[in-house]
Amino acid sequence: MDFSSINWLAVVVASVSAFIVGGLWYGPLFGKAWMAEMGFTEDDLKNANMAKIYGTAFVLEFIIALQLAYFLGHGNTDPSVGQGAAYGLHIGLFFIAAAMGVNALFSRTSLKLWFINAFYFVILLTLMGVILTVM
């Protein structure tokens, strides 16, 4: 893999966007529903090792953004913002959400929980695709 054409600042910004989207998604938008579906209480969340969770999440989101940047730059093309959004949307919907759907079926989790978790990534990857092509 040739990472020489990667815009590293864009990858970092796309990675940080995961925390902004996640803060909204798992906060005011779907936070209470997600907690209920997971069976978590406020105390459960307060007693978690947040440094480990956020630190590891950032590394994983960075890997996602880096690979999306690689895919967008593959073939020595200069993708448009629309192409970046479309790549992110398709990867989010047809890879991540579909795979999480299979997992949800076998794990016997609710459709609601699948929607909350899977569509976070659909929205996030679409946004990352835009960020990576704008910068």
Q: Is the predicted pLDDT of residue 75 greater than 70, yes or no?
A: no
pLDDT value for 118: 98
Indicate the number of domains in the chain.
Answer: 1
Rounded distance between C-alpha atoms, residue 9 and residue 13, angstroms: 6
**Does 1 reside within a domain?**
no
**Does 39 reside within a domain?**
yes
Q: Is the predicted pLDDT of residue 76 greater than 70, yes or no?
A: no
**Does 68 reside within a domain?**
yes
Taking residues 87-101, what's their average pLDDT?
Answer: 97
Q: Which residue segment(s) compose the domain that 119 sits in? A: 8-134
Task: State the alpha helices, DSSP H only, in the chain.
Answer: 8-24, 31-38, 42-46, 50-73, 81-91, 98-107, 111-134
**Does 102 reside within a domain?**
yes
**Does 16 reside within a domain?**
yes
